[in-house]
Amino acid sequence: MISRTGKDNFLVAHYDWIVLGVGVLALLGAAAFYVLTIGEDPEAEADAAVASAASKKPKETGVEKFDLFAFSAASHLAKSPAQISEVSERGESFLASEKRVKCKCGKAISGDVKAVPKCPYCGEAQEVEKAVVLDADGDGLPDEWEKKSGLNPGDAADAAQDRDGDGFTNLEEFLAKTDPADPKDHPDYLDSLKIQLPLKETYLPFVFCGAQQLPGSWRCEFFNPKKRNPKRGITGLFTAKIGEELKDYGYVVKSYEQKKEMRSIKGGGSQQKKSVDVSEVTIERKSDGKVVKLVVQPKTSVKLPAIDVQATLVYERGGVKTFDVVAGEEIDLNGTKYKVVLVKGVGTGAEVTVEHSISGKKTVIKTP
């Protein structure tokens, strides 16, 4: 909607003075007329006027039948006169009229958006007048905010500065609605953390093939397909009892659980249920205590298990830093520590879940 003011129209801007001047002239004219006619007999003139009106018919007098609707409308306008223009903002007028705006439909309506949010004629919503925000140095920081934050409204360079040394510029603090003078109040560091694809998976070089029961224990059998060499009589098999270390691999056998499960097996054109060995062995990595559970699988169809999914995280603040992480590791961002809880691939992208070391708040970082 377009505001209609009287800045560029003399009659609109000074209508109240014009009305006052016409009124004064009318009063002076009435007084002069009274002075000129004061010598005549008013009672005789009144009697003559009454006699003349009584001798004429209604059509000759021009008097129409009294209209109650017109009277009611006139009374309403007298109590609440319609205003069609806004008082000049320069302040010349002493009479304050109601603010009016012109709608897209061409009608003049009230400019009070709260009282009249929509045009009563066409239903068009009124545009809310935006408050003027002063920014003397044009740095994107409002003058009022700069003064409140102890910055200089006349210095454009302070927008790129970091007053509290928390790693964020004053402009970034303004956009995030944080305090540029408080190093503990700042935007989230994780907003500057991105995942760099592709993810890297770490696989165990061996699989679990079965277990043999011993008096009071179990001997677990493992198979490394890369070490198998039939020509040299090397099977690639190796064993370890519960509590023993898997030599050359850095893992210790912690426990074994014998389990079986009924599964549907296709055969002969029909499905039959068969008991399948799904026993598990638990091993622990000595370097970091990572626990891995391996389900038994035959040596004829080996699928090496992925034990770690590694992600490369790029932190772009105060220079570029990269972190190659797996679940369980910790990263430090400007003194704030986060623990990597989960790394996983999602479709063609990835997700990394991190946990704030103090608050325990978890955040999921995703690829675009």
CA distances from 337 to 189, 213, 317 (A): 10, 46, 15
Mean pLDDT of 112-117: 78
Residue 91 is predicted with a pLDDT of 47
Examine the pLDDT at 299 and tell me if it is beyond 60.
yes
Q: What tens digit of pLDDT does each residue of 146-180 get?
A: 999 999 999 999 999 999 888 889 999 999 999 99
Q: Where are the domains of the chain?
A: 2-103, 143-187, 191-200+308-366, 205-303
Given a contact cutoff of 8 angstroms between Cβ atoms, the answer to whether 165 and 182 are in contact is no
Q: What is the pLDDT of residues 250-296, one digit of tens each?
A: 999 999 999 999 888 776 677 788 889 999 999 999 988 989 999 99
91/10 Cα distance (integer angstroms)? 13
169-192 mean pLDDT: 91
16 vs 21: CA distance, rounded Å: 9
pTM (two decimals): 0.48
Rounded distance between C-alpha atoms, residue 102 and residue 308, angstroms: 67
How many other β-carbons are positioned within 10 Å of the β-carbon of residue 111?
19
Alpha helix positions (H), 162-308? 170-176
* pLDDT tens-digit readout, 74-114: 665 555 554 444 444 444 445 555 677 788 888 888 877 77
pLDDT at 181 over 60: yes
Q: In whole numbers, what is the pLDDT of the chain averaged over residues?
A: 82
Distance CA 226, CA 365 (A): 36
The pLDDT value given to residue 132: 73
Question: For residue 342, what pLDDT is reported?
Answer: 93
What is the dihedral sign for C-alpha 45, 47, 52, 57?
positive
Give the amino acid at 2. I
User: Given this model, what pLDDT does residue 143 score?
Assistant: 92
Phi/psi of residue 41, nearest 5 degrees: -85, 110
Angle formed at CA 120 by CA 118 and CA 124, multiple of 5 degrees: 40
- Residue with the larger pLDDT of the pair 288 and 349: 349
**Six token digits for residue 54:** 């009584």
